[in-house]
Amino acid sequence: MNSTLSVLFTNRRWRYGLALVALFAGLAALAHWVAPYDPTAQLGLSEQWRPPSAAHPFGTDLYGRDVLSRVLYGARVSLVIAVLSVFLSISIGTSVGLAAGYCGGVVDTLTMRTVDAALAIPRVFLLLLVLGLWYGVDVIGLVIILGVTSWFGVSRIVRAEVMAVREREYMLAARSLGVGHGRILLHHVLPNVLAPVTVAATLGMGQIILIEAGLSFLGLGVQEPTASLGRMMSAGGGELLAAPWTTVFPGIVVILIVIGFSLMGDGFRDTLDPRTR
């Protein structure tokens, strides 16, 4: 474990990604103290479409709201949705993959055929369908929808890892000694699947942030007056030439956060893959 951590910290991509994610996560967590204005405060008609200035570093939007403040709070919303959605999807996918890979037989066949059928449905179509029926979804609802539709790939990864370790000598020895299935799964199987699950979770964070921003851009994600990076880009899209700052700054933040998580995921994969050492 210590050797893995030491190798991980020598990986430049992981360090750069961690720095980006930590920067925006810290700013989002401290948004209440860092943001110069209330993100929902409308500063008046005279403050509409103000370009970047000392008073408003990122300018103002149609309603005279400070874009910098809304970007900070919007980053918080995006990161919270990403973390909770990925935690939910990883929990479901790991549980299903453990059951399918360890039990085998009918359980494995039924589970994996269900996963194959779910993967055959385009995810964007499924999300648009659910969100179209669930109008006015809140943050918790969005977390549930994104998490429940994101675990299929994780279950296949976990199943493959479990099947690889299921017949190893220490597993056979544990079963011959009468160790219970729950203890075997918890102490012998689960530690072996944590590495690929960690990589999948890190890469999944960036994907969820992009999906959430895209849904909010289409008006199906986080609703006003809650600050959302995707919603901000959508609101400023109609005035892109006259007030580009309302769209450009939220877009840049989304890109940097996604790049940060992608670099972290690549770093994890390089470190945990023995062929790259």
Residue bearing the bigger pLDDT, 116 or 138: 116
Report pLDDT digits (tens) over 36-49: 999 988 887 778 88
Task: Note the pLDDT of residue 275.
Answer: 47
Domain boundaries, the chain: 2-43+52-276
Distance separating alpha carbons of residues 235 and 254, to the nearest angstrom: 16
Mean pLDDT of the 55-83 span: 92
Task: Note the pLDDT of residue 7.
Answer: 63
Task: Please state, as a whole number, how many other Cβ atoms lie within 10 Å of the Cβ of residue 4.
Answer: 12
User: What are the backbone dihedrals phi and psi of residue 60, each rounded to the nearest 5 degrees, phi first?
Assistant: -130, 165
DSSP 8-class letter at 147 = H
- Among candidate residues 64, 74, 60, 61, the one with its CA nearest the CA of residue 27: 74
Mean pLDDT of the 18-34 span: 94
Report pLDDT digits (tens) over 202-224: 989 999 998 888 888 887 878 77
Distance separating alpha carbons of residues 206 and 261, to the nearest angstrom: 6
Cis peptide before 225 (omega within 30 of 0): yes
Q: At what angle do helices 245-272 and 67-103 cross, to 10 degrees?
A: 30
Report pLDDT digits (tens) over 234-245: 877 777 778 899
CATH topology of domain 2-43+52-276: MetI-like fold (1.10.3720)
Q: Which residues contact 88 (CB under 8 A, 6 or more apart)?
A: 143, 144, 147, 148, 150, 151
- Reported as a pLDDT band with limits 50, 70 and 90, residue 195 is confident
Quick one: what percent of the chain has pLDDT higher than 90? 42
Cα 233 to Cα 6, 119, 218, 228, distances in angstroms? 40, 30, 10, 9
pTM confidence score: 0.88
- Write the DSSP string, 198-252: HHHHHHHHHHHHHHHHHHHHTTSSSPTTS--HHHHHHHHGGGTTT-THHHHHHHH
Residue bearing the bigger pLDDT, 69 or 220: 69
